[in-house]
């Protein structure tokens, strides 16, 4: 809990820090990478650094945590902390790195705030930082212990045993541990990190949802080619250069957005490549003979870009009590007008007690979230996975 004196200082300065935090974050990363260039090369996503989403996520997390400390003493934003801890564990973040971050972050704060960064202000925000850091370290230590790697090194070599094209720009890789041991246990909705050496020598890391069945003796990831500015360094490298027989470094499975146990109704809503955690959830429901009420929703550009289209339909058809709803922006051939364009969950009949899982572009998930809450789904029963640094929590 934040001390009373620091709470007063943070409450008084939060508007100023919140207004300057984007500039603070930008200077922080500049300082950090100047001091430790290997972190930019081998740990942080260079694409997210280039487009600024990493800075937005850092800024959002710090101010959200600080606001929670002063508005609801004794509590913390659990969802945000859990999400960050799982992401950190998938990267192998260590306790020592928090000290490196602190030094560069507070140097940036001093530069941006100038005379406003008095000793009292720095002490108060230092307390905020270490409360957040210690909370994350505690969570990450538990995740590492559960993965059997208390030192934080969960990396393991996997051989690619199969490669399947799902669409023209989506590929699934089937992988088995090189050491001959069993594949790790995981839950539907989780992901693994993949570490790839790029032509310039960087060892960049990206996370990909597991798309198989947790009972399989191998791991499957499904990767979409990323075009545009910036292009997907790791995803496109996997597409262009990884074939059967090649070896990849994978982390243990992590991720806090997992299909809950129980018998209540469930809604799975995805858009584009957001179908990857959903297909694993559907596979698990079918494999376990689930009798839950399932509403499966997907939105895509067209049938030809809809990865796992045939399997999506088959899996929903194999469940005892399930229905599928699909929208396409550009249908190919005859297609219902009411299912053309953006998805509309408001027209669905959603049973009381439904637990919802969302994955897709932020705009899709925000609108789906709004419609579900309006339909009576509890805020705490709406879970989402996002394939970029998560600043959504800072926006509302």
Q: Where are the alpha helices (DSSP H) in the chain?
A: 4-35, 37-42, 46-51, 53-71, 78-91, 95-113, 119-146, 233-241, 275-287, 309-318, 362-374
The closest alpha carbon to 127, from 41, 11, 287, belongs to 11
Is the peptide bond prior to 60 cis by the omega test (within 30 degrees of 0)?
A: no
Among 29, 56, 129, 140, which one carries the catalytic annotation? 140
Alpha carbons 240 and 223: distance in angstroms, whole number = 12
Task: Identify whether 98 is a catalytic site residue.
Answer: yes
Token pair of 200, please? 């310039």
What is the β-pairing status of strands 219-224 and 170-177? Answer: antiparallel
Cβ neighbours of residue 338 closer than 8 Å, sequence gap 6 or more: none
Q: CA 5 to CA 7: how far, in whole Å?
A: 5
Sheet holding 322-328, edge to edge: 322-328, 294-300, 266-271, 355-359, 382-385
CA distance 265 to 319: 13
What would the two tokens of residue 236 be?
């496109």
- Catalytic site residue 158? no
Which member of 98, 144, 208, 357 is catalytic?
98
127 in Cβ contact with 66 (< 8 Å):
no
Q: What is the 3-state secondary structure (H, E, C) of 44-88?
A: CCHHHHHHCHHHHHHHHHHHHHHHHHHHCCCCCCHHHHHHHHHHH
Greatest CA separation for the chain: 68
Backbone angles phi, psi at 175, to 5 degrees: -135, 145
Listed residue (128, 132, 52) closest to 88, CA to CA: 132
Q: Which two tokens stand for residue 75?
A: 């509590």
Give the active site residues.
98, 140
């Amino acid at each position: 809990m934040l001390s009373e004196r620091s709470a007063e200082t943070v409450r008084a300065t939060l508007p100023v820090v919140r207004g300057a935090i984007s500039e603070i974050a930008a200077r922080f990363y500049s300082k950090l990478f100047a001091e430790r260039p290997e972190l930019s090369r081998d740990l942080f996503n260079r694409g997210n650094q280039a487009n600024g989403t990493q800075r937005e996520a850092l800024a959002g997390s710090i101010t959200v945590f600080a606001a929670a400390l002063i508005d609801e003493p004794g509590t913390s934003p659990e969802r945000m902390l859990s999400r960050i801890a799982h992401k950190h564990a998938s990267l192998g973040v260590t306790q020592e790195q928090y000290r490196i971050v602190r030094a560069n972050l507070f140097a940036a704060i001093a530069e941006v705030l100038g005379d406003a960064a008095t000793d009292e202000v720095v002490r108060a925000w230092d307390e905020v930082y270490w409360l957040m850091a210690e909370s994350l370290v505690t969570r990450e230590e538990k995740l590492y212990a559960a993965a059997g790697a208390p030192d934080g090194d969960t990396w393991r070599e996997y051989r690619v045993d199969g490669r399947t094209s799902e669409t023209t720009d989506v590929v699934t890789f089937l992988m088995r541990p090189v050491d001959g041991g069993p594949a790790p246990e995981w839950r539907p909705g989780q992901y693994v990190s993949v570490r790839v050496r790029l032509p310039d020598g960087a060892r960049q890391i990206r996370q990909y949802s597991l798309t198989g069945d947790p009972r399989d003796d191998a791991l499957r990831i499904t990767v979409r080619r990323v075009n545009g500015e910036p292009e997907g360094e790791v995803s496109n490298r996997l597409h262009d250069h990884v074939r059967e027989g090649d070896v990849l470094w994978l982390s243990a499975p992590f991720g806090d957005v997992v299909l809950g146990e129980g018998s209540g109704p469930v809604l799975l809503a995805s858009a584009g490549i957001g179908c990857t955690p959903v297909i694993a959830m559907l596979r698990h429901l079918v494999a376990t003979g689930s009798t839950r009420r399932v509403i499966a929703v997907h939105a895509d550009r067209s049938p030809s870009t809809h990865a796992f289209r045939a399997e999506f339909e088959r899996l929903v058809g194999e469940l005892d009590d399930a229905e599928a709803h699909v929208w396409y922006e550009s249908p190919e051939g005859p297609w219902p007008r009411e299912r053309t364009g953006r998805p509309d969950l408001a027209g669905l009949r959603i049973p009381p007690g439904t637990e919802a899982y969302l994955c897709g572009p932020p705009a899709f998930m925000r609108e789906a979230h709004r419609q579900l809450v309006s339909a009576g789904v509890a805020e705490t029963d709406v879970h989402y996975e996002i394939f970029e640094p998560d600043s959504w929590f800072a926006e509302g």
